[in-house]
Amino acid sequence: MTRRRVAVAMSGGVDSSTAAVLLKEQGFEVVGFSMQLWDQRRNSETGAAPRFGSCCSLDDLYDAKKVAAQLSIPHYVVNLEHEFEQQVVRAFVGDYSRGLTPSPCVLCNSFMKFDHLMRLARDVEADYVATGHYARITRDERSGRYLLWKGLDRERDQSYFLFGLNQDQLAHAMFPLGGLGKTDVRQIARRSGLEVAEKPDSQEICFVADGDYSRFVENYLREDGGSATCLAGEVVDREGRVMGSHQGIHRYTIGQRRGLGIAHSAPLYVIDIHPHNRRIIIGERPELARTAFHASGPNWIAFPSPARPFRASVKIRSRHAEAPARIVPLAGDVLRIDLDAPQMAVTPGQAAVFYHGDQVVGGAWIARDP
């Protein structure tokens, strides 16, 4: 009987490396793929040395190659810089320029790992694409749908970032670490003699190595023949009184407190952003609370598009506690989320992911109110 072939997305970190180890131990024929996504020499200050992040750098590609050699599996580096720029980086810059706060890791998972890489996997006749995500997949025999679940390690669960996967992608995805904790993963890596066993986790967005999102946006716009100065404007309160000025809406996000530079008797926060007139709206903390919001572009996993309202727990940021809510479908792929209790800093551009217990129902993108 021919062994099933699995393409493993190898980032050079301990998680994806351990996923490759486990699959090989389970008898799969493993092929490693590493994606070259971004040239850090771009978007650097003139005369400055490029800064590389702790994810998807040249060092990571080298680590992935070493792990593949140690496991005696084929390893390919694929250049997807153009695709990554068009589908992830441009969306990132565009969202910040429109006063949104993007979540590029969701787009990277949907478009890069489980779209482009899945097509490359088929070229080598691989049945599945596996990653080091902490999440789980099952198949509902009654409905035939593939279901997405949280990883058993709640501190490491990454199901939030995977809500955009469609049924075909889920049918051909594998998450070998879904039932493990980080301690288990590092122990397996040590047992296998992998040098990456103690490698620190990546924390930042891979193409913004220093974490300075506003500088990245400004440099990218400049490189693209534009300028961020057109994003500058006024800082006003909810009544429209001008409190100051700012150097660009891309420098702010809902809930931000630092960098406002305005004296007030109580702490002030960004409570809204109006891109049409480039205004930053500020207010005190209670003004951040929301009891309802809209979301668009939903993707449904547990069932097809719902016709009626339903209840679920909603997570409005990856590290935010879930909140009970009523999800109301509206016309044109728009949802209204009515929260049982007010939530702070609901941020347009971020993902709202819906759960029934450990199961991912689906998700959508938080939108400005119509």
Give CA separation, 138 vs 7, 106, 135, 145, 362, in Å.
19, 20, 10, 9, 15
- Residue 327 is part of a domain; what is its CATH number? 2.40.30.10
Q: Are residues 254 and 357 in the same domain?
A: no
Task: Give pLDDT, residue 3.
Answer: 64
Residue 98 placed within a domain? yes
**What is d(CA 94, CA 102) in angstroms, rounded to the nearest whole number?**
9
Residue 221 placed within a domain? no
**What is d(CA 198, CA 14) in angstroms, rounded to the nearest whole number?**
8
Residue 358 placed within a domain? yes
What is the SS3 assignment for 211?
Answer: coil
Binning the chain into helix, strand and coil, the percentages to the nearest 5 are 30, 30, 40
Q: Are residues 82 and 68 in the same domain?
A: yes
Q: Are residues 353 and 263 in the same domain?
A: no
Q: Are residues 55 and 14 in the same domain?
A: yes
Q: Where are the beta strands (DSSP E) in 303-368?
A: 310-315, 323-330, 334-344, 351-356, 359-367
Residue 210 placed within a domain? no
Domain with 252, as residue range(s), is: 232-283
**Does the predicted TM-score (pTM) go above 0.85?**
yes
pLDDT 10s per residue in the chain (370 long)? 356 999 999 999 999 999 999 999 999 999 999 999 888 666 555 445 544 444 567 788 999 999 999 999 999 999 999 999 999 999 999 999 999 999 999 999 998 889 998 999 999 999 999 999 999 999 999 999 999 999 999 999 999 999 999 999 999 999 999 999 999 999 999 999 999 999 988 766 888 877 889 999 999 998 887 777 889 999 999 999 999 999 999 999 999 998 888 888 899 999 999 999 999 999 999 999 999 999 999 999 999 999 999 999 999 999 899 999 999 999 999 999 999 999 999 999 999 999 999 999 999 999 998 7
- Both tokens of residue 26? 């389970």
Residue 17 placed within a domain? yes
- Domain count across the chain: 3
- Out of 260, 283, 306, a domain closes at 283
Residue 180 placed within a domain? yes
Task: Give pLDDT, residue 203.
Answer: 67
**What is d(CA 366, CA 294) in angstroms, rounded to the nearest whole number?**
6
Q: Are residues 270 and 299 in the same domain?
A: no
- Residue 93 is part of a domain; what is its CATH number? 3.40.50.620
- Residue 244 is part of a domain; what is its CATH number? 2.30.30
Task: Give pLDDT, residue 1.
Answer: 39
- The contacts of residue 47 (CB under 8 Å, 6+ apart) are none
Residues labelled catalytic: 108, 206
Residue 354 placed within a domain? yes
Taking the alpha carbons of 162, 163, 169, 174 in that order, is the dihedral positive or negative?
positive
The total of other beta-carbon atoms located within 10 Å of residue 100's CB is 25
Task: Give pLDDT, residue 369.
Answer: 81
Q: Are residues 26 and 174 in the same domain?
A: yes
Task: Give pLDDT, residue 331.
Answer: 92
